[in-house]
Structure 1
Amino acid sequence: MNGARHARAVALMVVVTLLWSSAGVVSRHLQAAEGFEVTFWRSAFNALALVGALGVMRGRALWQGLSSAPPVLWISGLCWAVMFTAFMLALTLTSVANVLVTMSIGPLLTALLARMVLHHRLPLRTWCAIAVAGVGIAWMFGREVQAANARSLLGMLVALAVPLAAAINFTVMQHTLHGQGDPDESLGGGMGGETPATLDMLPAVLIGALLSSVVMLPLAWPLQASGHDLLLLAGLGVFQLAVPCLLVVGLTRVLPAPEISLLGLLEVIFGVLWAWLGAGEAPAASALTGGLLVLGALVGNELIALRQRAGSASG
């Protein structure tokens, strides 16, 4: 791989994680919008941005493709809708740190589900990473139970729907591809890395945004967002979702999936940091402990994978 091209791709992936990580701190500065309405507006603005961008990129072919899309595209769109919806609802119920750490187990859940459903072999390092990350998440949930913080515990359970939906999304698409590809190679992080490169994911993202906004609208009614809130939520829909989704699909053609997964973990660090500095939301000790276990497991797993592949390539 060309060194300069790789460096540009890495820098762009860091920008993607910065954009992803902005949701928590921005949501803490909303004035009137709450719960379902926050989710509705973000998904609606995301859908509008994707319609505009994909319309320019593909023209009529976009809508013609959706009208004749295979079932896997609609299943994937439903998974994206769950991810979009659960993420913002979770942020209204618990801390940014709790949400992001819970979501960060997505790559490991994907590996586990691929093993259970598709019978893919997992290396020992991934089994170890799953075990360590499981301890970290269990620690976080256990501390919330001990503290009798029902609202925060509910938020973490809602956040858990995000990596579960991402894992199902990947597994369904892998099954459609007749089990092609190494699942351990495909454990990309964040919004785009879990997608096999041979599938056109962008229309599914649009479907997810449309479904999320349509389902949330009656629950959010009557709408109460101020002009200030709408400006912030429009920024989230466009720059925290639509733009990174478009960028990361292109990056999957340049960066290997384990590297995307490793860089994607920066979202957790950035997101917690922005919420701390920009909204005064210091992470709890349980989130820090659980987060260190989860992130340590993920980083260790991906670093070993990168080293093994580098060794194989040089050999």
Structure 2
Amino acid sequence: MKLSHPQAVALMVAVTLMWSIAGVITRHLEQARSFEVTFWRSFFTVLSLLVLLPFFQGRAVFGKLRRAGPALWLSGLCWSVMFTAFMVALTLTSVANVLVTMAIGPFLTALVARIFIGHRIPLRTWVAIAMAGTGIAAMYATQLSGGQLAGTLVALCVPLAAAGNWTLTQRAHREGHDVDLVPAVLVGAALSSLATLPLAMPFAASWHDIGLLALLGLVQLAIPCALSVVCARVLKAPEIALLALLEVIFGILLAWIGADETPTQAVLAGGTLVIGALVMNELVGWRQGT
């Protein structure tokens, strides 16, 4: 699939919109809770990718899994942590809290990469990290007495695992062993479903819930994951990073409109700092060509 630049931008916007539906759909579940929610979404992601992978990469993709080195399986483990923590966090705290916490992922990635593989962090990124840290600290401070701190801490596992995943794949690339993203996602979904299956039983989900979670597995995870890889062949990294921020905006708006979940002033203020820091960092880096 070959895209022009405008087509890739439009497709990436559609991808972020698909990513953003998880929060509002989770709020309309009837009986499924916590680990059962995670299990069904991961299970249906596996089924969806088993169909989509041959379409996007041919049947040879399954041979890649058989011949895969440890880097792909470790990447899959990181994906499984991200999948599990994201859905569990949504059952413990607000959609806005989860999405804003996830938005600090690029900064955590920069710090982890600096520590483990020696990536240089430019001054603009240090300033942005300080801004984002201030925003997150403001959010956490209000939650100490609000009963939602546990959910936000679980959500923090998502950007931490993402940072580890990116650093792992970069190290593998340096050693001449590139990690194919979409098969790694399949491995992650499979590990997530296997790990949460014992914790999800006895099942309580209604058929209504299972239908919604199947929708998440296909439309919110499997399809946009595959399409984002196609977009990444055309768009530059700063473009993808900036467009991906739309997930936060779309997700909060959908939960606000579709589930009457109004974000608090602290979340809005903290989120503004985090997103502003990300935009500043990426735009300056784009202009400087770094």
TM-score category, normalised to shorter length: over 0.9
53-62 or 13-22, which moves further after superposition? 53-62
Q: Which residue of 2 aligns with 1:20?
A: 19
1:223 alignment partner, SS class: coil
Can you list the C-alpha shifts for 1:271-315, whole angstroms capped at 9, x where unaligned?
A: 000000000000011111110110010011111112222xx9xxx
Give 1:201 deviation, angstroms.
Answer: 1.2
Q: Specify which of 250, 272, 275 is matched with residue 292 of structure 1.
A: 272
2:4 alignment partner, SS class: helix
**Structure-to-structure mapping, 1:1-315, within 5 angstroms:** 5-58=4-57, 60-145=59-144, 148-150=145-147, 152-178=148-174, 199-309=179-289
* Alpha-carbon distance in 2 for matches of 1:256, 1:57: 21
Q: Residues 23 and 236 of structure 1 are in contact (CA less than 8 Å); yes or no, is this contact kept in structure 2?
A: yes
Q: 1:306 to 1:179 in 2, by over 3 A?
A: farther
* Alpha-carbon distance in 1 for matches of 2:247, 2:63: 35
5+ residue gaps in structure 2? none
Give 1:57 deviation, angstroms.
Answer: 4.5
Q: Residues 80 and 166 of structure 1 are in contact (CA less than 8 Å); yes or no, is this contact kept in structure 2?
A: yes
1:92 alignment partner, SS class: helix
Give 1:37 deviation, angstroms.
Answer: 0.5
Q: Residues 25 and 212 of structure 2 are in contact (CA less than 8 Å); yes or no, is this contact kept in structure 1?
A: yes
* Alpha-carbon distance in 2 for matches of 1:101, 1:49: 28
- Partner amino acid for 1:155? G
1:283 alignment partner, SS class: coil
* Alpha-carbon distance in 1 for matches of 2:26, 2:101: 18
* Alpha-carbon distance in 2 for matches of 1:134, 1:283: 19
85-94 or 49-58, which moves further after superposition? 49-58
1:177 alignment partner, SS class: helix
* Alpha-carbon distance in 2 for matches of 1:58, 1:263: 25
What is the RMSD computed on CA atoms of the aligned residues?
1.8
Give 1:83 deviation, angstroms.
Answer: 0.4
Q: Residues 56 and 226 of structure 2 are in contact (CA less than 8 Å); yes or no, is this contact kept in structure 1?
A: no
Give me the TM-score of the superposition, normalised by structure 2: 0.96
Aligned residues: 289
- Percent of aligned pairs with the same amino acid: 60
